[in-house]
Amino acid sequence: MSSQPRCPYCRQFVYLDALRCPNCSAELGFHIVTRQFYGLRQGRTEIEGQNWYACSNRDWACNWLVWENAPAGRCFSCRLTRRRPAADDTVALEKLAKTEEAKRRLLLQLGDLGLPIIPWDLEKGGLGFDLLSSLSDGKQVRIGHANGIITLDLAESLDDRREALRVRLGEPYRTMLGHLRHEVGHYYQNVLLSDESSWAQCRGLFGDERESYKDAIARHYKLGAPADWHVNFISEYATMHAWEDFAETFAHYLHITGTLQTAAVIGIHLDAAVSNLRDTDVEPLESYGREPIQRLLNDWEWMSQAFNRINRSMGFSDLYPFTLVEPVREKLAFIHDIVTRAPLSPQEQLAIAFRPAHEPT
């Protein structure tokens, strides 16, 4: 469970990506077990009798700590990066730093939800990331997921490039975190749906994933989404294939729970009398793991409207430019069900994450 990240010395709030306290300049490292910042002295700190070190990618803005017994000198997040730009490609590495920040946020959220993360170097089909740039050697990097490995195009961390794509594809929202949340949805569909009855239920909601994906892509890029796509789907892209509908909806589950969690940690709540939104106050929760989906969707309906109003007051487009129609709510309910069915405790997650690498299986 996250709590407000603070500087251990002066108690100032610090953003998740901080390397130093903005108030007292202390050098900080983030400890994923306690979800807290610790002060670093000569690149190390002691936590509960054990040494934790700065990640070897700290020069590339990684602020996570590495356990002394962890394999290699990389933190858990950096270890999940299977491929990255070459060491001399500093332009691409700068973009990598930005994308790794989004990835660390994703991993913390997956942890908070109690989802298992089995690293790619421990098990075939485990989670890993190929973070490469289309700008590096002119070869187009295709965003996608295959057998646990998520590939992202770092060139998209350039705002003008991503924004141009967003406009061309007619998408209301396009971010690196959004890409990560979508692609990890593909990974968890295979991890969480383990029996035939779950798959049958899934097909009833999202369609048959055994239909040709190749044909679906060809059709989508030739004809686009059906005109009435919004009656059943969260986005145009979701109409392409059952795999994509699941991943798109999964990404929204992460958008919604992640944003409500942040609101809860800050202490934001809507006062019914003031907001004139409905009869009772809206108090977002850090975790909806034990709540019915209706509570989650209800809180989000009002909170997202509030956040949209905040954005508009700054001249931005809506924070959440989507409408959750009934069929989409049913799909989200299914995802809520499979995500919350058997959440792992932090100890269980760590046991998997820090299982020694290269262990004979």
Is 336 in contact with 320 (CB distance < 8 Å)?
no
- Left, alpha or beta for 147 (phi > 0: left; psi -120 to 50: alpha)? left
CB 332 within 8 A of CB 340: no
61 vs 225 by CB, closer to Zn ion: 61
Site for Zn ion in 273-332 (CB under 5 A): none
Count of residues that interact with Zn ion, criterion CB under 5 A = 14
CA-CA-CA-CA torsion sign (117, 159, 164, 229): positive
Query: Between 53 and 320, whose beta carbon lies closer to Zn ion?
Result: 53
Per the DSSP assignment, residues forming a β-bridge with 128 are: 149
Closest CA to 117 of 176, 73, 69, 180: 180
Q: Is residue 9 close enough to count as binding Zn ion by CB under 5 A? A: yes
Structure tokens at 146: 């295959």
**Which residue, among 259, 97, 248, has the nearest Cα to 174 in the 3D structure?**
248
Min separation Cβ 64 and Zn ion, Å: 5
Residue among 44 and 219 whose Cβ is closer to Zn ion: 44
Residues whose CB falls within 8 Å of the CB of residue 319, separated by 6 or more in sequence, listed in order: 259, 304, 307, 308, 310, 311
Per-residue tokens: 66: 């590495």
CB of 357 vs Zn ion, minimal distance in Å: 16
Tokens of 150: 């998520």
Question: Which residue's CB is nearer to Zn ion, number 98 or number 269?
Answer: 98
Q: Which CB atom, from 93 or from 192, has the smaller least distance to Zn ion?
A: 93
Contacting residue, 1, 4, 10, 212, with Zn ion by CB under 5 A: 10
Q: Min. distance of Cβ 45 from Zn ion in angstroms? A: 14
| Residue 60 lies near Zn ion (rule: CB under 5 A) | no
The whole-angstrom separation of Cα 152 and Cα 80 is 13
Contact pick of 18, 54, 62, 96 for Zn ion (by CB under 5 A) = 62
Q: Does 4 bind Zn ion (CB under 5 A)?
A: no
Interface region with Zn ion, contact rule CB under 5 A, candidates 17-25, 118-126, 201-209, 250-258: 17-25
Sole window of 59-67, 119-127, 180-188, 209-217 interacting with Zn ion (rule: CB under 5 A): 59-67
Segment interacting with Zn ion (CB under 5 A) among 18-26, 89-97, 203-211, 303-311: 18-26
CA-to-CA distance for 64 and 74, rounded, in angstroms? Answer: 9
Taking the complex as a whole, how short is the minimal distance between the CB of residue 7 and Zn ion, in angstroms?
3
Cβ–Cβ < 8 Å for 237, 245: no
Which of 319, 284, 288, 294 has its CA nearest to residue 305? 319
Is 132 one of the binding residues for Zn ion (CB under 5 A)? no
Residue 21 sits in the site that holds Zn ion (CB under 5 A): yes
Distance CA 118, CA 136 (A): 29
Binding test (CB under 5 A) with Zn ion, winner from 30, 37, 38, 64: 64
CB of 75 to Zn ion, least distance (A): 3
State in angstroms the smallest separation of the CB of 66 from Zn ion. Answer: 7
Stretch that binds Zn ion, among 31-39, 47-55, 269-277, 304-312 (CB under 5 A): 47-55
Q: Measuring CA to CA, which residue among 351, 331, 176 is closest to residue 239?
A: 331
Query: Is the CB of 24 or the CB of 277 nearer to Zn ion?
Result: 24
97 touches Zn ion (CB under 5 A): no
Amino acid symbol at 172: P
Minimal distance in Å, beta carbon 59 to Zn ion?
A: 11
Confirm or reject binding of residue 55 to Zn ion (CB under 5 A). yes
Answer left, alpha or beta for residue 224, where phi above 0 means left and psi between -120 and 50 means alpha. Answer: left
What are the residues binding Zn ion (CB under 5 A)?
Answer: 7, 9-10, 12, 21, 23-24, 26, 55, 57, 62, 64, 75, 78
